[in-house]
């Protein structure tokens, strides 16, 4: 989800981000130690892993905003190994520490977005996986992290709860990313809400239709595709695994 698709000014996402962050904190608030250690819907990750990942993800975006604002050489993460180690170590803490860490990290990143200089949103920064890219993608990618991983906690927040604005923009972004993958099958996608057909491959594949949120959930590994329709009738195409 990029800001160019949402509003001229990246910080326009702040109201949605604050609502999404508040919802995650409300879900995490009453968790017991046992509930925190229970598996999330992500393979190999407990709920503590998911919440710690969200905290470190927020901190990484503060670094990118700081780099853009000050000119400091601050990558999103030093490397992938450091990112994974910090998640593993953080997930071992007690429930109170995990919650406090998440709350502090989300507060810092929302403040950093709110106060980022208007003329510094197009400054390139060092993202971990994609390399140099504009810092204006920070708000949109943070919203993706919050909404996707709230579902991954498996505590009642489902794709049906995703904001319509998020679903519409994120679906376009996911389709663009999938078009860059080599192992994406030929298929066409059409959400019930807008009837726009998104083609992958040679434009001759089966047509997959359904509610927009259900399509996005399936494409990002948050659903098995139940409730989607394939024309001509047959099994759903196999989409590449979504990177967590």
Using one digit for the tens of pLDDT, what is the confidence trace for 118-139?
999 999 999 998 789 999 999 9
**What token pair was written down for 201?**
């491959």
Please tell me whether residues 129 and 153 are part of one structural domain: yes
Please tell me whether residues 89 and 179 are part of one structural domain: no
Please tell me whether residues 25 and 134 are part of one structural domain: yes
Q: Look at residue 177 and tell me whether its pLDDT is greater than 50.
A: yes
Please tell me whether residues 138 and 171 are part of one structural domain: no
pLDDT at residue number 2: 45
pLDDT band at 202 (very low <50, low <70, confident <90, very high): confident
Range of the domain at 67: 3-157
Task: Kindly write down the DSSP assignment for every residue of the chain, as one continuous string.
Answer: --GGGT-SSGGGGHHHHHHHHHHHHHHHTT--HHHHHSB-SSTT-BHHHHHHHHHHHHHHHHHHHHHHHH-----S-S-HHHHHHHHHHHHTS-HHHHHHHHHHHHHHHHHHHHTS-GGGTT-EEEETTTEEEEGGGHHHHHHHHHHHHHHHT-SS--GGGS-HHHHHHHHHHHHHHHHT-TTPPSEEEEETTT--EEEETTS-S-EEEE-HHHHHHHHTTS---TT-EEESSSPPPPPPPPP-
What is the C-alpha end-to-end distance of the chain, expressed in Å?
15
Please tell me whether residues 31 and 127 are part of one structural domain: yes
Please tell me whether residues 215 and 152 are part of one structural domain: no
pLDDT tens-place string over residues 4-26: 444 468 999 999 999 999 999 99
Residue 14 CB: number of other CB atoms within 10 A?
14
Q: At which of 157, 189, 207 does a domain end? A: 157
pLDDT band at 244 (very low <50, low <70, confident <90, very high): low
Please tell me whether residues 199 and 148 are part of one structural domain: no
Q: At which of 157, 180, 200 does a domain end? A: 157
Instruction: Provide the sign of the torsion angle of the four alpha carbons 127, 132, 137, 138, taken in this order.
Output: positive
Is this model's pTM higher than 0.85 or not?
yes
Please tell me whether residues 21 and 120 are part of one structural domain: yes
**What token pair was written down for 212?**
């927009």
Please tell me whether residues 101 and 123 are part of one structural domain: yes
Instruction: Flag whether 186 is in a domain.
Output: yes
């Amino acid at each position: 989800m990029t800001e160019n698709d949402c509003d001229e000014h990246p910080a326009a996402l702040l109201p949605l981000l604050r609502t999404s962050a508040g919802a995650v904190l409300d879900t995490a608030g009453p968790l017991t130690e046992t509930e925190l250690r229970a598996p999330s819907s992500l393979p190999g990750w407990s709920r503590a892993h998911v919440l710690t990942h969200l905290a470190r993800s927020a901190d990484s975006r503060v670094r990118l905003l700081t780099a853009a604002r000050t000119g400091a050489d601050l990558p999103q993460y030093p490397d992938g190994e450091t990112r994974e180690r910090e998640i593993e170590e953080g997930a071992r803490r007690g429930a109170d520490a995990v919650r406090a860490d998440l709350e502090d990290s989300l507060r810092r990143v929302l403040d950093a977005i709110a106060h980022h200089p208007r003329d510094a949103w197009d400054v390139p920064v060092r993202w971990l996986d994609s390399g140099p890219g504009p810092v204006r993608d920070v708000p949109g990618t943070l919203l993706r992290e919050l909404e996707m991983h709230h579902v991954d906690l498996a505590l009642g927040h489902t794709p049906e709860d995703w904001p319509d604005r998020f679903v519409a923009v994120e679906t376009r972004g996911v389709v663009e990313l999938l078009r860059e993958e080599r192992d994406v099958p030929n298929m066409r996608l059409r959400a019930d809400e807008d009837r726009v057909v998104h083609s992958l491959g040679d434009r001759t594949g089966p047509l997959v239709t359904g509610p927009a949120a259900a399509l996005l959930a399936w494409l990002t590994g948050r659903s098995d595709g139940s409730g989607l329709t394939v024309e001509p009738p047959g099994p759903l195409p196999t989409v590449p695994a979504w990177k967590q």
